[in-house]
Amino acid sequence: MSRPTSAIIDLQALRENFFLAQNLAPNAKSMPMVKANAYGHGMLEVANALADSAPAYGVACIEEALALRKANIKQPILLLEGPHSADEIGIAEQYGFWLMLENHNQLQAVLSAQLSSAITVWIKLDTGMHRLGFQPEDASYVYQQLSDSPNVAEDIVLATHFACADNLDNDFTRQQLCNFEVAINDIDQPNLLKSLANSAAILDWPEVKDDWQRPGYMLYGASPFSVPQENAEQLQQVMHFQSAVISTRSIKTGESVGYTANWTAQRNSTIATVAVGYGDGYPRHAPNGTPVLINGVKCPLVGKVSMDMITVDITDLNDEIKIGADVTLWGPELSVTEVAEYCGTIGYELLTRMPARVPRIYINAK
């Protein structure tokens, strides 16, 4: 029998989340973000599951785009960081990749490239996040340079990225939106194509649903918000990270568990050992008390997370827990967001750090 740790990936839940993104902005095109191995879910499997509906895909780098092409994904693929070297522009032409341009080096590389056909480019504008993007005052110049170039197709898209869209009480998103509108105001071109909405904006900023939206985290069933939100409540968690109990033992009051002996029993206790650890992507810094479901009941993590195992206090369970009992680390009944909050991080990190060691088991492929 193999080690019981695995990640069950529900592809129908994935599709339902994508349909929600589409329904919230029916006049926009929704481009699934499949970078970082589809947030840990398996880039090729996710792309194939959405192939009948997705008009294009978003990735971070050309290596990810090439992997999709090798897997026979036909849709356009947007390189969100643009070309990292001039030779990637020719590769983009060859394979039909789209390029997000965010600096003048990339701009000049595209303008001076020797191409036999035009490529599609997006222009990233820095409206306040100050991470990537042309300065707003350069928007008109950059757009004109690209629209005049035979290397560039006509359907140029202007894009930005929101820093605080997941905080509904923060007005910075509206400030960024205003900065974006001011930046593009001088571009002498009717019907500009725009892309502003990430997952949080799709779910709760209806004023930014333009021609292209970029659902990412929401596709995988996790809410980007720290408070309940009506649309996010409809999301279905795609990954069920599971394992099983491999050992149980009774310890006495005053005895400790695990490395560094950082948890000591305050009563006679029953401890279950579970076959999962930081080598499987479970966060090493998870503190005592982090919830774990055993046979569907929440129990507290106790003791340090090891490379291959965790220990859980099951003293209060009424049922006798036997070796082989089901364990959920996160999934539909225990959100990755809740686990992440205990660990002082975000669900994005827990999902994307899921290593190859953990088998992905795909269900509801069609």
**Looking at 29, 209, 252, 259, which residue is catalytic?**
259
Amino acid at position 297, single letter? V
Cα 28 versus chain centre, distance? 20
Give residue 208's pLDDT.
83
Give residue 75's pLDDT.
98
- Location of structure tokens 């686990």: 339
Amino acid at position 204, single letter? D
Give residue 320's pLDDT.
85
Q: CA–CA distance from 213 to each of 90, 98, 158 (Å)?
A: 26, 15, 12
Give residue 160's pLDDT.
97
> CB–CB of 194/157 below 8 Å?
yes
Q: What is the DSSP letter of 143?
A: H
**Looking at 35, 124, 209, 304, which residue is catalytic?**
35
Nearest to 33 by CA among 66, 71, 67, 64: 64
Question: 239-363: CATH homologous superfamily?
Answer: Lyase, Ornithine Decarboxylase; Chain A, domain 1 (2.40.37.10)
- Location of structure tokens 């869209």: 165
pLDDT along the chain (366 residues), means of 10: 92 98 95 98 98 98 98 98 97 98 98 98 98 97 98 97 93 95 92 96 88 97 94 97 97 97 97 98 98 97 98 91 96 97 97 97 93
Give residue 209's pLDDT.
79
Q: Which residues contact 3 (CB under 8 A, 6 or more apart)?
A: 275
Domain ranges of the chain: 11-222, 239-363
Give residue 353's pLDDT.
96
Q: What share of the chain is helix, strand, coil (3-state, %, to 5)?
A: 30, 25, 45
Q: What CATH number does domain 11-222 carry, 3.20.20.10, 3.40.1440.10, 3.40.50.300, 3.40.50.2300?
A: 3.20.20.10
Q: What is the DSSP letter of 33?
A: B
> CB–CB of 219/31 below 8 Å?
no
Tell me the two tokens of residue 30: 């929704």
Amino acid at position 251, single letter? I
Buried b (16+ CB within 10 A) or exposed e, 238-276: bbbbbbbbbebeebeeeeebbeeeebebeeebbbbbbbb
Does the annotation mark 259 as catalytic? yes
Query: Alpha helices of 166-268 — where are they, by DSSP H?
Result: 172-184, 199-204
Give the start-end residues of each E strand in the chain: 6-10, 29-30, 57-59, 77-79, 97-101, 121-124, 157-159, 193-195, 212-213, 239-251, 256-257, 263-264, 269-274, 291-294, 297-302, 310-313, 326-330, 360-363
**Residue-level length of the chain:** 366
